Structure 1
Amino acid sequence: MSSQQALPLGAPASAPQQRVTPHNLEAEQALLGAILFDNETLNRITQQLRPQHFYDPVHGRIFAACQEMIATGHIADGVTLKERFARDGGIKEIGGAVYLMKLMDLAAPLSAQAQSYAELIYDMALRRELIRVGNVIADLAENPPERHDAKDIIEEAERTLFTLAESGGANKGFQDFRTALTASINVATAAKNRGSDVSGISTGFRDLDHLMGGLHGSDLIILAGRPSMGKTAFALNLAMNVARIKQKALQENPEAEHLGGTVGFFSLEMSAEQLATRILSDFAGIESHRIRQGKIDKDEYVRLADSATELQMLPLHVDETGGISIGALTNRARRLKRTSGLDLIVVDYLQLVTGSGKTDGRVQEVSEVTQGLKALAKDLQVPVIALSQLSRQVESREDKRPQLSDLRESGSIEQDADIVMFVYREEYYLSRAEPEQGTEAHFTWEQKRAAVANRAELIIGKNRHGPIETVHLNFHGQFTRFSSIAR
């Protein structure tokens, strides 16, 4: 039972005080006065500022008028604004011509501080919007829409807050060609200074790096294959390589933090513990099934413990949420980027990511997911590797090497991807088609299998930035490990 005393009957509770939202009218007046005094001031302040960011609607109208007039080559001062507002009958709403002249007199000596005023006004507007969002979230929590649970509200809150945090940065608009050329030259210079042809993030696979120049920000890379080809193993090896390069670079040379990268791995099918076991198996050189079954001796256990100690600070983050929506995936990737940094995203796998539920049919849903992943790659400027299943029509062909048309819901996936890679292991199919022993066919089969034993092909089926080729790799099945072929 609560020990709190009830209010006496007839004694009304004191009414809550009206909250005054953050604002600074003096800064708004000073900025407007500076613009009216010197129109060039408008070009020197932050481009993020909009009329709706002003607390006083009158100030917002004056700022909008200044923007429009200056953009069309007209002078914006007390006289011209008086005529403009007199024509539309709004002169009284802004306080008349006297108020415009007062603004100019107030801020004439303060035009040098205009940028500071603009930043203050913008900050106040963000704080007011933050309060509004908080109230909306509280209202949604108290009165949730039909078929929306707490997780849906949290995802919507995260999405809204991120949009607010990034406001002004996402809509970059046009940039002159000089800026684009400078960025291109910087990429080429970075590659030249490294003394290699890898200008992006190294995958740890020599021939793949040589073909692609590493992994590049804003690219959506599809890694596809039939079951048991090793899609997850290859993606995990690549993620491990990227994170391991960064870990070693930070340990040996803190200034080389640009090498490797922090990885976000969305594992929709396997648990984080299963992924960690695979990584430990590879790093310690102990078969994963023996680790899971506890069939390791004392020396192997020590090796396993040492490996875990060495890898515990690996910049690899795993999200094992099954059936995650593209909206939640995007929010979590952005949050990781803000809190820990993020250089590579891996999604295992594409067909398990759900859409918003607003599309009709599976094809439209997959299209929504691939478009969302591509937008995420461009927004965060990181490469996104999404694993994808292939249709069963591969099994009906004599040559089972996959093609672009084998992608499930291939239209949207092929269209949105910058690079499409297929994992193919001929040994897998040969091992399941063994002829009768002692026959000539069995002898031929043994020769073919020996030629492809422990080998894999990484077939580049689409590459917007380079040639379409096949990269040959080693595959160590007992450790689910891919590696470059020794030269």
Structure 2
Amino acid sequence: MAGNDAAVGNADKAQSLPHNIDAEVAFLGAMLIDNRVSEDISIPLRAEHFFEPLHGRIYDRIMKLLDRNLVVTPVTLKPFFESDETLQQVGGLGYLAKLTADSAGLIGARDFAQQIYDLALLRELITVGRTLVNDAMDTSESVDPKAQVENAEAALYSVMEGEGDSSGAVDFGRATLVAVEMAQKAFNSGGHLSGVTTGLDNVNEKIGGLHNSDLLILAGRPGMGKTALATNFAFNAAQRWRREEEDGIEEKQRVGAKTAFFSLEMSADQLATRILAQESGISSEALRMGKISREDFQNLSRASQDLQDLPLFIDDTPALTIAALRTRARRLKRRHGIGLIVVDYLQLLQGTGRASDNRVNEISEISRGLKTLAKELQVPVLALSQLSRAVEQREDKTPQLSDLRESGSIEQDADMVLFVYREDYYVQSKEPKTPQEGDDQSIHDAHAQWAMQMERVYGLAELVVAKSRHGSTGKVRMKFEAKITKFTDLADDAYGTPDYE
């Protein structure tokens, strides 16, 4: 089959780029002889991985016919290639029959597929390398070496993931398959969860989980519990992934995720203390101060043992730049296969320095960087954000999109904006004077009225879906246990409140 090189007319490329035309011919022949060969190939082989474009087109047509449960042979392929000019140059439709002339490919089909894939990665690596050299030779003042390093790492990561397709375009058929897989996952979960689980049924019901490639902003005023809620989401997703791994659930059908938590405000041990408090039922304050009983300590030990192999990775490096965060996230994705990224919080990240003279521009750069990261790694990125003090000046303290601090680009870049709001926080702060014996009746009445209001709202929280590219806006009520900083479902609020404007 050595003559196929010249036959398909890639002589110029063949002298410079790694390839194996014989392996491509043998593999395609094996697929046409036995269509079940495709079921044994575990690598993400695509048409663009074939060195010879004609072979890529043949492979693509074979896979499309197999997806329709049709038998694929040279005869069934014939109608699709009658007008193919390249095929006419190499012998016309008889070339399809020649592919099946040697059945030796059946024995090593999997190895041939792996070699085709590996050589495609090498060719892409050569392309990336040439680009890096050309860019590095540019010494003009407008060149930013740090940006070049970041771009180089992103390009190399794409090659590592087997996604170094220079065109950057995805055909509609492949995009449709991804959409159908998401719909199937939602159907299998009971009709409401197509992304990574938050661990709260009511929230999943409202937003469908945390979707790949999405930037989600979780915002709130200090004291609302946004870090606690983000920690709950991260822990729940990681715990669900571990359980699904133990149950042997197919990876595409999983709704849990290995999680990376970038904590720019709290240390790793503080976050771990919070999670231990949630799981053991002991308050974080009691844990830190050692005010626990022997029974509490036993509960703590059990919780600690249960969390030993939790796939939750915490990076508490302070003052990270957006470039450094993206670098670390890529590394975690490559080494551990993370499926969810949490950033606490957005305003503590730093830009590249080019926009440091303007904080609004810097925040815009950071929010765009987080959105780019979500798309690049194909994972949801949940970033916490501060809100402006304008909330405190209104009678109604429920947050609004206009309260997002410092930049409208946060709202623009986000696929979903969530606000966490606890009315009891504000009611508690307005506690009137505690009545004493002999005080006027009005003081007793004021405090009694406050107590009634406090009883109505105590332990309740709202997750306000203020923006969603995937569905409706609205509110979901939750229960908040302040002692252990844990959010849970509210039993009487299965579907949340209706949409609002």
Same structural fold, with TM-score higher than 0.5 when normalized by the shorter chain: yes
Question: 2:320 & 2:169 partners in 1: Cα distance?
Answer: 31
Q: In structure 1, what residue type is equivalent to 2:248?
A: P
- Asked if residue 394 in structure 1 is aligned to residue 391 in structure 2, the reply is yes
Assess, with a 3 A threshold, how the Cα gap between structure 1 residues 115 and 290 changes in structure 2: closer, same or farther.
closer
**Which residue of the other structure, out of 210, 215, 218, is the alignment partner of 2:213?**
218
Q: Give the conservation status (yes or no) of the 8 Å contact 1:267–1:320.
A: yes
User: CA distance change for structure 1 residues 128 and 216 in 2, over 3 Å: closer, same or farther?
Assistant: closer
Larger Rg: 1
Q: Is contact 2:8–2:86 with CA below 8 Å preserved after alignment?
A: no
1:268 corresponds in structure 2 to 264
> Aligned to 1:312, what secondary structure does the other structure show?
coil
2:410 matched to 1:413?
Answer: yes
Select the residue among 242, 250, 256 that pairs with 1:247: 242
Q: After TM superposition, list the pairs within 5 Å mapping 1:384-463 onto structure 2.
A: 384-438=381-435, 439=443, 440-463=445-468
Matching of residues 196-211 of structure 1 within 5 Å? 196-211=191-206
Per-residue deviation, residues 382-430 of structure 1 (Å, max 9, x unmatched): 1111000001111111111110000012410111111111111111111
Q: How many Å separate the matches in 1 of 2:160 and 2:470?
A: 33
1:166-177 equivalent positions in 2, closer than 5 A: 166=161, 168-169=164-165, 171-176=167-172
Q: Give the letter aligned to residue 354 of structure 2.
A: K
Alignment of 1:168-187 (within 5 A): 168-169=164-165, 171-176=167-172, 178-187=173-182
User: Aligned pair 1:471/2:467, yes or no?
Assistant: no
Partner SS, residue 199 of structure 2 = coil
Query: 1:95-114 counterparts in 2 under 5 A?
Result: none
Q: Tell whether the 8 Å contact from 2:363 to 2:407 is kept in structure 1 after alignment.
A: no
Q: Distance in 2 between matches of 1:115 and 1:345?
A: 33
Match of 1:334 among 318, 330, 335: 330
1:184 is displaced (CA, Å) by: 2.6
Q: How many equivalent residue pairs? A: 404
Q: Identify which range, 431-440 or 327-336, moves more after superposition.
A: 431-440
- For residue 358 of structure 1, report the CA deviation from its aligned partner: 1.9
The letter for the 1-side match of 2:286 is: R
Q: Tell whether the 8 Å contact from 1:46 to 1:119 is kept in structure 2 after alignment.
A: no
* Superposition deviation, residue 286 in structure 1: 0.8
Q: Which amino acid aligns with 1:376?
A: L
Q: TM-score, normalised by structure 2?
A: 0.70
Deviation at 1:472, TM superposition (A): 0.8
User: In 2, distance between residues paired with 1:216 and 1:455?
Assistant: 26
Instruction: Give the letter aligned to residue 491 of structure 2.
Output: A
| Corresponding residue number in structure 2 for 1:35 | 9
The aligned runs of 1:15-414 (5 Å cut-off) are: 31=5, 33-35=7-9, 47=48, 122=120, 124-125=122-123, 158-159=153-154, 161-166=156-161, 168-169=164-165, 171-176=167-172, 178-251=173-246, 253-255=247-249, 257=251, 258-359=254-355, 360-414=357-411
1:117/1:300 CA distance change after superposition, 3 Å = closer
1:370 Cα offset (Å): 1.1
Deviations, residues 238-284 of structure 1 (Å, cap 9, x unaligned): 11111111222223x12355131111111111111110000001101
Give 1:116 deviation, angstroms: 9.7
Aligned-partner Cα distance in 2 for 1:260–1:242: 5
Q: Is the 8 A contact 1:425 1:455 kept in 2?
A: yes
Deviations 1:132-190 (A, max 9, x none): 89999x99xxxxx9xx99x99986774453255356247531423x4433333332222
Q: Say if 2:486 is the partner of 1:481.
A: yes
Q: CA deviation at 1:120?
A: 7.4
> Which segments of 5 or more consecutive residues in structure 2 lack a partner in the other structure?
12-20, 29-45, 53-82, 100-104, 106-111, 436-442, 493-501
Matched residue of 1:342: which SS?
Answer: coil
Given the two structures, how large is their TM-score scaled by the length of structure 1?
0.72
Provide the rounded CA distance (Å) in 1 between the counterparts of 2:122 and 2:477: 57
Runs of at least 5 residues in structure 1 that lack an aligned partner in the other structure: 1-26, 52-72, 80-102, 140-144
Q: What corresponds to 2:18 in structure 1?
A: none
Distance in 2, Cα, partners of 1:363 & 1:281: 37
| Structure 1 pair 324–120 and aligned structure 2 pair: CA distance change class (3 A) | closer
Distance change in 2, residues 1:362/1:182 (3 Å): same
CA distance in 1, matches of 2:118, 2:217: 44
Distance in 1 between the 2:150 and 2:227 partners?
A: 27
Query: Matches of 2:288 and 2:298 in 1, distance apart?
Result: 15
Q: Distance in 2 between matches of 1:298 and 1:287?
A: 15
Q: CA deviation at 1:336?
A: 1.4
Separation (CA, whole Å) in 2 of partners of 1:380 and 1:303: 38
CA RMSD of aligned residues (A): 4.1
